[in-house]
Amino acid sequence: MKTFNYKNSFKMKYIAAFLICSICLTGCDLDETQEVVTKNNLVWADEFDVDGPPNPQNWNFEIGDGSAQGIPGWGNNELQYYTDRPENVKVENGVLSITARQETFEGSNYTSARLVTKGLFEKKYGRFEARIKLPYGKGFWPAFWMLGEDSDGEEWPQIGEIDIMEYLGDEPTTSFGTIHGPGYSAGESISKDYILQNNRFDKEFHVFGIEWSPNQINWYVDDVLYLTLTPEDVDEETDGEGEWVFNDRPFYIILNVAVGGNLPGAPNDETVFPQSMFVDYVRVYE
């Protein structure tokens, strides 16, 4: 992971800047702390209000350890086996929980779940946000992210990847936003940390989102915008080698909890299992 050194401070407070605008919002839940700049028209959402398995009209599962997809360890030497069992994923009390467990299952030592909207909901541009509470401890690697739709046969990183929220359980106050594309993928991706002050991501729910427009993506946590990326930034970061692939195709949403792998490292003796990522909602606005 490469740290993106943005030149200007963009820690702008949405609330302060757009307070006047907020009165024209309708239908916002009380728990929504994010105020909106431009994209207020809700076009897709899962509020996880019905107990049971996740709504199959919104979510597909990706099952296994990645071998079936040709990327064992999901390309990162991750340790979990994804299932669709209620032990690993369920909706209860208005919240989706994706639970990572330490258990021997199909040759893996951990189980978890990975939900995708692929084939069900794919969209180019918009405001994508989710309200999430995260687990903690070495080895936990939950994420709320997006991949480009690939029915044309194009492959990663050409299809593009937007990581709205990634987080490592042994850094409980830090999340990060990232893009991957041709010339800036995997360890060369363009990324920035957001460090929560006087709070932790495993203590309560926080809102993670992006605002994605032609030639621009903004990342925010709660009411703080912490990263803006444009084709110019990609050019600068890659010495002109990278290509902005985020005007090309619709993307689908992914929610998952990985265990271990290249980025977080393996769990240690202090890592507590089972633990869950809790998702209060996922909403998409235009």
Partner 1 sequence: MINNRITYLKILGLVLLSPMVFTSCERDVSDAAVPATFPTTAEVYTDNPVGLTDEFFISFDPVGGANPEAFGTDDNEAYLGSSSIRIDVPAPNDPDGAFVGGIFKDRGEGRNLTGYDALTFWVKGSTTATVGTFGFGTDFETSPFPVEISDIQLSTDWRKVTIPIPNSSKLTQEKGLFLFSAGSFDLDITPDDSEDPGTVDLGYTFWIDEIKFENLGTIGQYRPSIENGEEILTEGFLEVPIQITDLAMTANLESGEDVTVNVAPSYFEFESSNPEVATVDENGLISVIGTGEVIITASINGIAAEGSISLNVEGSFNFAPTPTTPAENVVSIFSDAYQDIPVSRYNSFFEPFQETLGGVQSVGSENIISYTDLNFVGIVFNDVTFPAQAVQPVNATDLTHLHIDVNVQEAVQDSDRLLLELTNYGSPETVGSYLISGSELLEDNWVSFDIPLSEFSGLGDRNRIGLLLFNSTNASNVSTISNIFLDNIYFYTE
Query: Applying CB under 8 A, which of residues 200, 216, 228, 247 lies at the interface with partner 1?
Result: 200
Applying CB under 8 A, among 3, 69, 77, 199 the residue interacting with partner 1 is 199
Which region among 27-35, 52-60, 194-202, 230-238 touches partner 1 (by CB under 8 A)? 194-202
Our answer to whether residue 155 is catalytic in this structure is no
Q: Which of 35, 149, 166, 237 is catalytic?
A: 166
Residue 193 interacting with partner 1 (CB under 8 A): no
Closest CB 104 distance from partner 1, rounded Å? 24
* Residue numbers 140-179 binding partner 1 by CB under 8 A: 169-173
Active site residue 149: no
In the complex with partner 1, the residue whose CB is nearer, 124 or 200, is 200
Among 138, 238, 248, 262, binds partner 1 (CB under 8 A): 138
Report if residue 265 touches partner 1, rule: CB under 8 A: no
Q: Which CB sits closer to partner 1, 117 or 175?
A: 175
List the catalytic residue out of 122, 161, 211, 243.
161
CB 255 within 8 A of CB 96: yes
In the complex, least distance from residue 173 CB atom to partner 1, rounded to whole angstroms: 5
Give the residue, chosen from 51, 87, 203, 286, that forms a contact with partner 1 under the rule CB under 8 A. Answer: 203
Residues that bind partner 1 (CB under 8 A): 136-138, 169-173, 196-200, 202-203, 270, 272
Which residues have a catalytic role annotated?
161, 166
